[in-house]
Amino acid sequence: MNGRYYSYLNTAVILLSQYDGSLPFHHFIRQFFREHPKHGSRDRKSIASLCYACFRTGNLFQEYDLPTRILLSVYLVQEKQEQIISLLRPEWPDLSHAQLHERLDFLRSIGISVDLSRLFPLSDRLSPSIRESFITSHIQQPRLFLRIRPGYEDIVSEKLFRAGIPFNRSGTRVELANGTDVSQALEIDKEVVIQDMNAQRTGELMQRAVAASPANPLVWDACAASGGKSILLHDISPESSLIVSDVRTSILENLKKRFSAAGISDYQLFRADLERETPNMPQVDILLADVPCSGSGTWGRTPEYLQNFTDKDLDRYVRLQQRILQHALPLLRPGGQLIYMTCSVYAAENEEQVAFIQQKGFRLQMSGLFEGWQNQADSLYGAWLTKNIT
């Protein structure tokens, strides 16, 4: 029995030693297992669990060797006593149902150095409202959230009940255990959109921007990606005329499929490289700028970045965002409304970029961090600004 768990541990050490952060870990580990087909499905799941546990603790245990780091991490993040701990560290008491501080106190009592500031990278550059509870929230995996689209409020609950899928619902927001497969029970993008709780809350800013705009506003989602925010805007203001763009052709193809499922057919779409040029298009009433960013508010879902993100990476995103803004902002008409969004918790991508925008002739209406850590959700930043008329 112990031999199997030592094998899992050794394989996890190999994976973590080879991983350099250049691509998402789920792609890396899938490729590794294709090259090493001896691992069965249960083995793959167990090995991946060890790796992700180690990622979730960031650089908390960086001074220890990798096998020790993995075991310490599993002990800290486990929701029930894992068998690998019972077998390989039987002297460690079962504190899986205890509070986090009790597990930390035990580790300190056996001489383990624990400095929580090392769990999240570049903690000195976080937005001012971030608290320690945000940092420690990465020890838990976030929940899955759905947004019910208009007209499907009753049918979605009925279908989930019928499928026997446990869920909590608040208005149009549905919360489920992470990893829940709803694709057989619900029509994705038609009835519901898979969208984090705080991504849904950015709709509050969109509602204000629409209310401050003329009837039937022309809206440009400049960095549309696969279209989640555009679908949200459409549901808030179906009378809006929608323009969508992104630099990635492949993701625009995905957007077209999602729009088709969502019943959105009246829109304009084009590829735009906003890092390098301003598109030839008319000025718009509302500009959605959900810019590429570190994604640091979502690292509970991709914890590998807790160990593989640097100052250089953050500064690169800041420069990219400013180039995009410089090419996009001229296409918002005077008096028009800007919604600036990131899924970041770094001040350089949030408050400091809003200051940069204000220097371009914009007036800040409201801004803030949509805090997700208390609800096992992502944290996002949003700001609503108006372009000066003169």
Question: What's the helix, strand, coil split of the chain in %, to 5?
Answer: 45, 15, 40
* pLDDT grade for 1, boundaries at 50, 70 and 90: low
Domain presence at residue 58: yes
CATH number, domain with residue 162: 3.30.70
Q: What is the pLDDT of residues 207-224, one digit of tens each?
A: 999 999 999 999 999 999
Interval 272-291 mean pLDDT: 97
Q: How far apart are the first and last CA of the chain?
A: 74
Q: Are residues 288 and 371 in the same domain?
A: yes
Residue 89 and residue 181 in one domain: no
pLDDT > 70? residue 40: yes
Q: pTM (2 decimals)? A: 0.93
Q: Does any domain span residue 135? A: no
**One domain for residues 181 and 289:** no
Whether 180 and 251 map to the same domain: the answer is: no
- pLDDT at position 98: 87
- According to DSSP H, which parts of the chain are helical? 2-18, 25-35, 41-56, 66-77, 83-88, 100-109, 132-136, 153-163, 197-201, 203-211, 228-236, 249-262, 311-328, 351-358
Q: Average pLDDT in the 56-83 region? A: 92
| Phi and psi, residue 124, nearest 5° | -75, -5
Question: For residue 119, what pLDDT is reported?
Answer: 93
Burial degree of 89 (CB within 10 A; 0-12, 13-18, 19+): middle
- Domain containing residue 212: CATH number: 3.40.50.150
In a domain, 129, yes or no: no
Q: What is the pLDDT of residue 80?
A: 80
Report how far residue 33's alpha carbon sits from residue 339's, in angstroms, rounded to the nearest whole number: 42
User: pLDDT tens across 5-37, in order?
Assistant: 899 999 999 999 999 988 899 999 999 999 998
CA distances from 191 to 94, 179, 224, 272, 357 (A): 43, 19, 20, 30, 36
66 and 38 in a single domain? The answer is yes
Strand 144-148 relative to strand 173-176: parallel, antiparallel, unpaired?
A: antiparallel
Full residue range of the structural domain in which residue 108 is found: 2-116
Total tally of structural domains belonging to the chain? 3
pLDDT per position as a tens digit, 101-119? 999 999 999 999 898 889 9
| DSSP classification of residue 79 | S
What's the chain's average pLDDT? 95
Alpha-carbon distances of 278 from 267, 293, 330, 390, rounded to whole Å: 20, 20, 8, 21
In the prediction, which pLDDT does 185 show?
97
Phi and psi at residue 253, to the nearest 5° = -65, -40
Residues 8 and 46 in one domain: yes
Shared domain check, 163 and 36: no
Q: Are 341 and 354 in contact (CB under 8 A)?
A: no
Three-state DSSP state, 388: coil
